[in-house]
Amino acid sequence: MASMEALARLMRELEDQLIVCMRCGMCQSVCPVFDQTGREADVARGKLALLSGLMEQMFDDPEGVYERLSRCLLCGSCSANCPSGVKVQEIFLKARAILSGYMGLPPAKRLILRGMLARPALFDRLTEWGARFQTIFTRPVNDIIGTSCARVMSPLLEGRHFRTLAKVPFHRQVPGMDRPAGKSGLKVALFTGCLIDKMFPNIAHSTLRVLDHLGVGLFLPENQGCCGIPALSSGDLDTFGKLLGHNLARFAESDFDVLVTACATCTSTIHEIWPTMAEERHREAAKRLAEKTMDINQFLVNKVGLKPPAGRAGSKHVVTYHDPCHLKKALKVFDEPRAVIQAAPGYQLKEMAQPDWCCGMGGSFNLQYYDISKGIGEKKAAQIMATGADTLATGCPACMIQISDMLSRAGAGIAVRHPIELLAEGLDEHST
């Protein structure tokens, strides 16, 4: 359990941050959960008002406070549009940590987070076993998107169309690498991320192909762990601290110019959350690594100078782009992924109505509140289909899972890809 000293520090920080909120209600117009429910308790202003009396509420009704705080996607839409600059996501993470520290974790979450996620090697083995046997329990439903559904209905899956685990995770295909810089003069470290490693290894392979083509050196440490956001979102500071220490040690083994990721959530977590939520002993190292962290699209455009090729051939595919909340709203990265798409031969970009409206995934929110998550996702799917695009690109694997579910359930034949995959595909075609 997190130390009382750490919880007391979080409480002091929380009280200081809550003062900034003016209760103006600007967050209502941008909150995807409020858009679905219309409940004041579901919008940031209502939750912040609740937290103002957290010390008293924590003893009176801790479960009720935690449940209301859980009805949040942590998408950052409220923070990005707050005239007072309230750091809502950071406040909610601290509040969840305080409540979990007081109540303790539920047994199921304790098993998943501390029994598996906090042990990267064990987590890898368990997911590999899951990949071997998943075909017994699932059947394909949409070959273009690559989704499946459960053979037997279960309360957890609730008719979802989901992306299955990769047959072989990326860390088994490429255990590690340390390649010097080439013509670019740059060397990066690659943080793979759980979803890319275990569900979308082609994103990682595409990243390697593009970096190699551009002469960028690469350090890929073995035995990487989760970035820790699932644990932190549940208020589990212990697991977050273990994963942070584990990953900091992996990336301390080589010199590099930039840490890149192809996962919007991992990028945001490392850049924004690691330094603020780290224990004192890890804080300086986390801050140094955070300052070197960039999204892969951002790195290619701003550091390497990637540009659309001159005299490009006609476009075979129409692609529309979904802005992941953790890229645009947290890191202000939105032009760069579009530039990567425009540099990919054969693709014409067509914008949807609200490209930066949240898709409704929110990690465990999708599991706890699927009806709300589905309602938000269906709005996103309708906007995607209205463009007439045959491909949806986004820089977040979690968004890819959610949008794949929504498009597949709607019967759409729209491929769901990462911008780096489109760029690498063009390199492959050019080389043949």
- Mean pLDDT for 166-180 is 96
Please name which of 194, 220, 212, 282 lies closest in space to residue 246, comparing C-alpha atoms.
Answer: 282
Report the number of secondary-structure helices (H) and strands (E) in the chain.
24, 12
Q: Tell me how far CA of residue 273 lies from CA of 87, 110, 216, 280, 353, in angstroms.
A: 11, 22, 27, 14, 30
**Residue showing tokens 């491929």:** 415
- Mean pLDDT for 205-223 is 97
- Mean pLDDT for 290-298 is 98
Contacts of 354 (CB under 8 A, 6+ apart): 383
Q: Is residue 62 within 8 Å of residue 97, measured between CB atoms?
A: no
User: The tokens of 314 are what?
Assistant: 């006609």
* Element of type H or E holding 258: strand 258-261
Cα separation, 349 vs 309, in Å, equals 15
Q: Is residue 142 within 8 Å of residue 157, measured between CB atoms?
A: no
Phi, psi of 158 (to 5 degrees): 45, 45
Q: What is the largest CA-CA distance in the chain?
A: 67
- Mean pLDDT for 65-77 is 87
Out of 72-86, 112-126, 213-227, 367-381, least confident range: 72-86
Highest mean pLDDT among 10-19, 100-109, 335-344: 335-344
- Mean pLDDT for 292-320 is 88
User: The tokens of 347 are what?
Assistant: 């693709």
Q: How confident is the model at residue 95 (pLDDT cuts 50, 70, 90)?
A: confident
User: The tokens of 264 are what?
Assistant: 């919007």
Mean pLDDT value across the chain? 90
Per-residue pLDDT at 248: 98
**Residue showing tokens 């990326």:** 170
Per-residue pLDDT at 432: 39
**Range 237-243 contact pairs with CB under 8 angstroms and sequence separation of 24 or more:** 237/2, 237/6, 237/97, 237/100, 237/101, 237/277, 238/1, 238/2, 238/114, 238/118, 239/113, 239/114, 239/117, 239/118, 240/277, 241/278, 241/279, 241/282, 242/118, 243/117, 243/118, 243/120
Please name which of 201, 181, 197 lies closest in space to residue 189, comparing C-alpha atoms.
Answer: 181
User: The tokens of 242 are what?
Assistant: 């273990």
Higher pLDDT: 181 or 23? It is: 181
Task: Give the global pTM.
Answer: 0.93
The yes-or-no verdict on residue 148 having pLDDT over 50 is: yes
CA 411 to chain centre: 25
Residues facing residue 217 across a β-bridge: 187
- Mean pLDDT for 140-167 is 88
Higher pLDDT: 87 or 354? It is: 354
Per-residue pLDDT at 154: 67
DSSP string, 219-233: EE-SS----SHHHHH
Please write the tens of the pLDDT for every residue from 307-348.
887 655 567 899 999 999 999 999 999 999 999 999 998 899
The yes-or-no verdict on residue 57 having pLDDT over 70 is: no
The yes-or-no verdict on residue 422 having pLDDT over 90 is: yes
Residues facing residue 322 across a β-bridge: 394
DSSP string, 22-82: ----GGGGG-HHHHHH--GGGSHHHHHHHHTTHHHHHHH-HHHHHHHHHS-----HHHHT-
Per-residue pLDDT at 62: 76
Per-residue pLDDT at 174: 97
Residue 227: is it exposed, middle or buried by C-beta count within 10 angstroms (0-12/13-18/19+)? buried
- Mean pLDDT for 13-32 is 81
Per-residue pLDDT at 2: 53
Phi, psi of 279 (to 5 degrees): -65, 160
Out of 22-26, 218-222, 360-364, least confident range: 22-26
The yes-or-no verdict on residue 185 having pLDDT over 90 is: yes
Cα separation, 207 vs 55, in Å, equals 47
Question: Pairing state of beta strands 258-261 and 293-295?
Answer: parallel
Q: What domains sit in the chain, N to C, each tagged with a CATH number?
A: 4-104 (1.10.1060.10), 307-431 (3.40.50.10700)
Cα separation, 294 vs 176, in Å, equals 20
- Mean pLDDT for 59-71 is 80
Q: Is residue 363 within 8 Å of residue 327, measured between CB atoms?
A: no
Cα separation, 192 vs 201, in Å, equals 9
Higher pLDDT: 310 or 143? It is: 143
